[in-house]
Amino acid sequence: MQKGELDQAMPWLERAKLAKRYEPRHFPYSNLGSIYERKGLWREAMREYKGALHYEPHHQPALKGVARLQAQMN
């Protein structure tokens, strides 16, 4: 994802969300939220950020992502 290969990272992150032993659970959601936000897919980004917050309610990148998207959607 850091290399800018967003589309290639997405399937891996989706698989990580489903993996039973993947820890920490909130990372793939937060990373997918970031990718969707960069692509301008705000509803999808919001869904993923909220998924991250389900597992880690104080995860700052997801909290900031939700706040940014709420500001842009209003």
Give the model confidence (pLDDT) of 18-69 as tens digits: 999 989 999 999 999 999 999 999 999 999 999 999 999 999 999 999 999 9
* pLDDT in the model for residue 46: 98
Q: Determine contact, residues 6/31, Cβ cutoff 8 Å.
A: no
List the domain boundaries for the chain: 24-73
Q: For residue 44, how many other CB atoms are within 10 A of its CB?
A: 15
Q: Residue with structure tokens 């800018």?
A: 4
The burial class, CB within 10 Å (0-12 / 13-18 / 19+), for 74 is: exposed
How much is the pTM?
0.90
